[in-house]
Structure 1
C-alpha cells in the first residue's frame, strides 16, 4: 500500500492510545477517539479550546499540579524542539456531569514536536497512557498490591518532579554564570575603535545551551588592517565557555604575528590539540586590508563569511575551507584565498545557529541569509545586525547559539 492510499486521518482517529494535537499556543487542534473517550470530553468541548480551559487544576487542592507540570513539559518541547517524557502524573479532572466535582486520574504523558518546513515547532503531539484503573484497583489481594503500587509510583513520581526541579534550578544558575563569563570574555562594541561594526550574541533556548560560540575583532600589525573571526566550540555550558575563551585568546595572539589567516588557524589548530574540549571546534578568520581593499580569509570547517557588495550582490567566501581544528592527526598548512571589495561593502561573519534548521539543507539557510543581506544592503551595521537576527532566527529562539559580527568596509 502506498502513502497516497493511506487515510492518515482515519489512522489517527483509530489509534489505540490517547493522542491529542495542540498548537504552540496550547490550544487543542485535534484528538483521537480514545482521548475523547478516556478524558470524558466531546470534540466540541475540546477542539479550539485552550488546555487550561478544558483541564484546569483543581482550585481546592494546592497539591494538584498535574496540569501545570504538563504545561511546563509542553513549553520545554516548544523551546528545545525535542520530545519530553514526563513522570507519572496525578490529575484532578473536573466532571462534566457534576461541575465542581473532581475525579482523580493518573496519566503518563509523552510530548513530542511536529516541525514545519522551516524547522519551527508547528504542532505538539500529546500522547497519554491511562493507568488510573491500575492505580485505583480495589478489593482482594490484587487490590492490596495495587494500593502499594500506587503509593510507590506516586512517591517516585513526586521524587522525580522534585529532582527535575532542582536540576532546572542548577542549570539556570549555571546558565547565568556562563552568560556572565561570555560577556566578560567577548569584546564589547566600544572596543572596536573607529571601525563601523556591530556584534550580536544570542544564546540558544534551553538551560545549558550557551557559550559555545565566539567572535573577535583585532587590529593587526602593519598598515590599516583588522582581523575579524568567529568560532564554534562543540558542547555547551561552562566547560564550552572555558574552551571558547582559550581559543579566542589564542587566535587573537596568533593573528597579530601571523603572515595571513591560514597561518593563524594553523597555530590555533596546534593549540586546540592540547586543549581538552576543543576537538572538532570550528573557526573562520578574515584579514581585512583597507588600503589594498582586499579580504584574505581561511576557514576551519566553519560556514563561509558573506561579502555584501555595494550593488547588493552577496559573495560567500568559500574558496579556502578546510576541516575543523584538530581534525587531522598530522596538521598540514591550511588554504587561504583573497577577494576584493569596494568602499561601502560589508562583511558578515556568523555561526551555524544563524543558518541551520532541523531537516533543512544548509544551502537553504545560506540562500535565506543572502536574500536578507541583499534586502538590507544599505543599512548601517547595527540596523543590519538587528534585521538579520529578526529575519533569520525562529520567533521562539534557535536551538543553537548564534554569534554575529558585521563590519562596514
Structure 2
C-alpha cells in the first residue's frame, strides 16, 4: 500500500504543478498557489520558499503558507547555516526531526511548534534559485515518495523564479541603461557630437556606456567605458562608475587623476569588478584634447588631409583591483578643424569569425573626416551591418567643425 500511496502523491503533485491555470499567474500568485497545494498534498502545517539573494550568500523568505511572519519579517538565512542554509549548501534534500536553535537559525520555526522539517533545493539551469521547505507540528518521517514529490514542486518553482528573475533583470537593466545614457549631447559652437548604443544580441544590456558633458572653463568631458560582465549586475556597477566619474571630473582637471580616483573607488567599493574606460577632456578654447585610457581600445582620428589612424595613447591598466596603483597617465594632442575622433567599446570590433586586429582595421577604414552623425551611420553599417553583435556596443563621434 505504501507504493500505491506514494505513486498517488506523485501523480497528484504532477497534476498540481502542470495545471494549465498556473500559466496565467504571476510569480507571487504561482508561489502562493503551489505552496497551498503542497500543504494539502503532504498534510503539513507550513510550506515556505526562500530565494537566493543577489550575492549568493543568503536566502530570503519570499512566500509562505502557514508561517506568514517569515515573509513579513524578511527572514534571512546564511547559506551553510541552519536548516535551509544546509539545503542550499548541499543542494540536496535535508530532513530533520528536532527543531530548535541547534538545528535552525530562524526562531519562528520552533516558536510555532514545528517538530519536523523537510527541505529541498530549487535549481534551474544549474543555478540555485532558492529552497522550498515544509514543516509539521507532529513528529513524522517523510517518505522517499514525499521527498520526490516535494522536489517536483521545487523544480517547477525554480524554473518560474529563474524565468521571472531573468526577465525582470533584463527589463531593469534596459531601463537603467536608458536612464543613464545622455538624453542630449552638448551643443557647443565649433564642436559636434553623435553617439550610438546597441544592446548585444546574446548578452543583452550590460556595462557599456558613453557620456558627454560640459565642464567649467570651456571644457567638455567625453567618456566611453565597459564594465566586465552583462545584465543587471554590470549595468548597476556601470551606473555607479558613471556617477562617480562625473563627480571627480568636476573637481579634477587632469583625466589621469580622475581615472585614478575612479580606480580607487572601484577597487574599494566594487569588489570583483573590472572596467575599461577612456576619459577625454576637450578644451574648446585651445582646440586640444587630453585623454587617459584605462585598459580601453585607442580612439580613431581622421583629418581632412589623410587616412584615419589610431591615436597613440598611453594605455594604463583597467579600473578595479587596484591595478593602477602605480599611477595613471594621459596623452594630449591638438584637434585641428575638420578632425573627427571616434571612441568605441570592444563590441564594435570583436567577432568570433575574425581576430581583434582585423576588426580594428575594418573600423579604421570606415572612419573619415565627416560630420559625426554620418560617421556613426557609416561605422555602424560597416561594423554591424545585418549581423547583430553578440556584445553590447557603444560609440561616440566628435568633430571639431571650425
Please give the alpha-carbon distance, in whole angstroms, between the structure 1 residues aligned to 2:312 and 2:274: 19
Measured in 2, the distance between the counterparts of 1:252 and 1:299 equals 16
Point out where structure 1 has 5 or more consecutive residues left out of the alignment.
Answer: 1-151
Partner of 1:358: 352
Which residue in 1 is equivalent to 2:247? Answer: 253
1:408 maps to 399
- Quote the offset at 1:278 in angstroms: 6.2
Which one of the candidate residues 310, 319, 322 is aligned to 1:316? 310
Moved more, 249-258 or 299-308: 249-258
1:181 Cα shift?
Answer: 0.8
Q: Is 2:173 the partner of 1:178?
A: yes
Q: Indicate the SS of the match to 1:216.
A: strand
SS of 2:209 mapped into structure 1: strand
CA distance 1:162–1:391, shift in 2 (3 Å): farther
Alignment: residue pair count: 251
1:398 matched to 2:380? no
**TM-score using structure 2 length:** 0.57
Partner of 2:290: 296
Runs of 4 or more above 6 Å deviation? 159-166
Partner of 2:278: 284
1:260-284 residue CA offsets vs partner (Å, 9 max, x unmatched): 1111111111111123256221100
**By how many angstroms is 1:401 displaced?**
0.9
Give 1:197's match in structure 2, choosing from 178, 183, 193: 193
1:229 Cα shift?
1.0
Query: Would you say the 8 A contact 2:186–2:213 is kept in 1?
Result: no
The residue number in structure 2 matching 1:221 is 216
Normalization by structure 1: what TM-score?
0.56
How far apart are 1:369 and its partner, in Å? Answer: 0.5
Contact 1:212/1:237 (8 A) holds in 2: yes
1:96 alignment counterpart: none
Query: Over residues 43-66 of structure 1, what are the superposed CA-to-partner deviations in whole Å (9 max), with x where a residue is unaligned?
Result: xxxxxxxxxxxxxxxxxxxxxxxx
Structure 2 unmatched runs, 5+: 1-147
Q: 1:328 to 1:401 in 2, by over 3 A?
A: same
Report the aligned-residue RMSD.
2.8
- Checking the alignment, whether the CA contact within 8 Å between 1:218 and 1:228 is kept in structure 2 is yes
- How far did 1:191 drift? 5.2
- Alpha carbons of structure 1 residues 161 and 343: separation in structure 2 relative to 1, 3 Å: farther
Paired with 2:188 and 2:233, the residues of 1 have a C-alpha distance of 31
Match of 1:55 in 2: none
Residue in structure 2 matching 1:371, options 365, 368, 376: 365
CA deviation after TM superposition for structure 1 residue 382, in Å: 1.6
Instruction: Give the whole-Å Cα distance in 1 for the aligned partners of 2:398 and 2:324.
Output: 35
